[in-house]
Amino acid sequence: MSRRGVIVPVKPKDAKQTLRRLFAYLGKYRWMIVVAIGLMMLSTIGSLYGSYAISPILNLVEQALSGSLDPNEMMRRIIFLVTILGVVYLLEIIFTYIASRIMLTVSEDTTHRLRTDLYHHLIRTQVSYHDTQQHGELMSRFTNDIDVIGQTLQDTLRTFLTNIMTLFGTLIVMFVLSPLLFLVIVAVTPLLVFLVILVSKHSRKASRQRQKALGALNGYIEETIEGNAINQLFTREEKTLEEFNELSHDFSMKSFKQQALSMLLMPMMQNLNMLIYALVGVAGGFLTINNLVTIGSFAAFVNMTRQFGRPINMISNQYTMINSAISATERVFEVMNQPLEAINDSEQLLENVVGDVVFEHVDFGYVEDKPVLKDVSFYAKVNQKIAFVGSTGAGKTTITNLISRFYEIDDGAILVDGQNIRDVNRFSLRENMAMVLQDTHLFTGTIMDNIRYGKLDATDEECIAASKLANAHHFIINLEHGYDTVITGDGSGLSQGERQLINIARAAVANPKILILDEATSSIDTRTERLVEKGMDSLMEGRTTFVIAHRLSTVRNSQAILVIEDGEIIERGNHDDLLAMDGRYASLYKGQSELT
């Protein structure tokens, strides 16, 4: 779950299915993973030997003190054992490093493939999915979720497996050293495991509550900073401060609780380990005195007891992180499960397009049983400018989305040059269309690159001609670097009007047969609008143009104006005809200077 960019770990819905799909990505590395696990086992054995090595050394000392071993022979053997120990430690370092490098390779390549597949899928996902998702939510899949997966594959999984091996290896070595002392560990271990699980469970719950509180606090700060002028305008500073204090206090209390539980685990584990250490010391001393265990075995057992609790604590923490990684993987696959637009949905191409568009009794709704368009019929021919006016939510933009086949209609038919667009390849349809929206979007790159986005093989001369057509050429050549000016931050160095002019030039270079202008001049001042409209008049020559606009100056010269209310066309005609009808359009025209 994500709130304002904060990822809150949750349990996966279907861990088995998610892991099965993730393992498919890891399949090509199965031998590398097997080698890494083998190296982890060797590294763990080396670590366990380091703890055990004190046993034979002390046994040699004991034999020398009792007179059963020559002191010189004792030193020779001890030097040999210490040399072996040094070699084992060196090999442990090498094995750990190689295993880490292998898992790093697996992690980076797997996350690269996941990221690539996710991106390739997302850019082909149906428009209806993007319309219902927040961009921040989708971005978190590429950042937070894939990063969590990568970190888990690279480090958490390796240390998790190593700690499991260390735990079981320690228990095995303890049993070999002294079955009687091992019973002491068996008696105390369930209590240790129970307390670790109990505290970790409450700590995870507190952590989730803290993250939620942090998300709420960050979200409130973000909203109030963005709307600071509104707060000041309506003198809401005191109320805002009061609400902030409540959220901040809530976060502080939950953060305190989470930190307190986290701080409890470490001293609890240390004291339990000391308790086990003391019990082993008492029992071991008794057994040693009665010759039931050697001094070396007793010392090695005590050495292992000191580090016995650490793997249990680490396994608990890493299990939580692995669960979070599975949840993150599940969120990535949820996006990749979304249906795609078909690439070759039809072999029939839309060729030699003239631009005649006909709607025949079209019904459509974004949600079943909630119609947005009801029995809509109209036609548009080449050189005609068709304007849609009406209240917000009446269905104007929906019509243009249907022409582009971003959505499929429920009933009726949409024809282009007499061909039902459902029967033709959707990409061949869109190749003959261009759209200029109210919200401009420019990409990082030069102005020339952004104009060429409308036609990737366009020459510089074609791009410049399109800019002149859109009346963007004059302001572009007056920039310091002209067409080579680099745009960043969605054109932050340009005015809104200049960004829209580039957007219109992008549409012009595509040389479309069908042109859609959705509030294309709403963000441009009146002077700039006049410049744009001159270019638009040239651009619309020989094309079928659909216009959605509030400004009367934009729609009044249209060959046909369709007034849409509640998904139905209630009036149609040119400007003079609609005024003569004295209906909805006339009332809008007489009542205000803009259509709303």
pLDDT tens across 266-310, in order? 666 666 777 777 777 788 788 888 888 888 888 888 888 777 767
Does residue 222 belong to any structural domain of this protein? no
Give the pLDDT confidence score for residue 38 in this predicted structure.
Answer: 93
Judge whether 162 and 44 are in contact, CB under 8 Å.
yes
Q: How confident is the model at residue 543 (pLDDT cuts 50, 70, 90)?
A: confident
Does residue 386 sit in helix, strand or coil?
strand
Does residue 338 belong to any structural domain of this protein? no
Does residue 294 belong to any structural domain of this protein? no
- Show which of 116, 145, 176 is a domain's final residue: 176
Q: How confident is the model at residue 1 (pLDDT cuts 50, 70, 90)?
A: very low
Give the pLDDT confidence score for residue 526 in this predicted structure.
Answer: 66
Taking 3-state DSSP, the helix, strand and coil percentages for the chain, each rounded to the nearest 5, stand at 65, 10, 25
Q: What letters, b where the CB count within 10 A reaches 16 and e where it falls short, cover 227-245?
A: eeeebeeeeeeeebeeeee
Does residue 468 belong to any structural domain of this protein? no
Radius of gyration of the chain (CA): 36
Give the range among 3-7, 297-301, 336-340, 487-491 with minimum mean pLDDT: 3-7
Give the pLDDT confidence score for residue 490 in this predicted structure.
Answer: 63
Q: For residues 95 and 108, what is the distance between their CA atoms, to the nearest angstrom?
A: 20
Give the range among 121-130, 279-288, 550-559, 580-589 with minimum mean pLDDT: 550-559
- Mean per-residue pLDDT, 471-489: 86
Strand-pairing partners, residue 3, are: 6
Q: For residues 435 and 39, what is the distance between their CA atoms, to the nearest angstrom?
A: 58
Does residue 121 belong to any structural domain of this protein? yes
E strands present in 8-71? none
Judge whether 322 and 157 are in contact, CB under 8 Å.
yes
Q: What angle do CA 302, 306, 312 make, to 5 degrees?
A: 130
Which residue, among 134, 491, 247, 219, has the nearest Cα to 227 in the 3D structure? 219
Q: For residues 162 and 46, what is the distance between their CA atoms, to the nearest angstrom?
A: 12
Give the range among 93-107, 252-266, 412-426 with minimum mean pLDDT: 252-266
Q: How confident is the model at residue 3 (pLDDT cuts 50, 70, 90)?
A: very low
Does residue 227 belong to any structural domain of this protein? no
CATH code of 46's domain = 1.20.1560.10
Does residue 571 sit in helix, strand or coil?
strand
What's the half-sphere exposure (Cβ side, CA atoms, 13 Å) at 429?
Answer: 27
Encode pLDDT of 491-541 as tens digits: 667 887 788 888 888 888 888 888 888 876 666 666 666 766 666 676 777
pLDDT exceeds 50 at position 44: yes
- Mean per-residue pLDDT, 170-185: 84
pLDDT exceeds 90 at position 174: no
pLDDT exceeds 60 at position 359: yes
User: Looking at the 3D structure of the chain, how many domains does it have?
Assistant: 2
For residue 71, give Cα distances in angstroms to 74, 79, 80, 471, 547: 5, 12, 14, 100, 102
Does residue 247 belong to any structural domain of this protein? no
pLDDT exceeds 80 at position 208: no
Out of 37-41, 170-174, 479-483, the most confident range is 37-41
User: Which position has the higher pLDDT, 346 or 568?
Assistant: 568
- Show which of 152, 176, 200 is a domain's final residue: 176
CATH code of 558's domain = 3.40.50.300
The token duo for 347 is: 């072999």
Give the pLDDT confidence score for residue 34 in this predicted structure.
Answer: 92
Number of residues in the chain:
596
Out of 183-197, 252-266, 467-481, 515-529, the most confident range is 467-481
The token duo for 49 is: 């030997």
Q: For residues 330 and 337, what is the distance between their CA atoms, to the nearest angstrom?
A: 10
Sign of the alpha-carbon torsion through 140, 22, 323, 312:
negative
- Show which of 125, 160, 176 is a domain's final residue: 176
Encode pLDDT of 213-240 as tens digits: 776 787 778 778 777 777 776 777 788 8
Provide the residue range defining the domain that includes 380.
Answer: 350-432+515-520+543-596
Q: For residues 589 and 585, what is the distance between their CA atoms, to the nearest angstrom?
A: 6
Within 8 A by CB and 6+ apart from 196, the residues are 265, 269, 312, 313, 316
Does residue 40 belong to any structural domain of this protein? yes
Does residue 395 sit in helix, strand or coil?
coil
Give the pLDDT confidence score for residue 535 in this predicted structure.
Answer: 63
Percent share of the chain, pLDDT over 70: 87
Q: For residues 421 and 575, what is the distance between their CA atoms, to the nearest angstrom?
A: 30
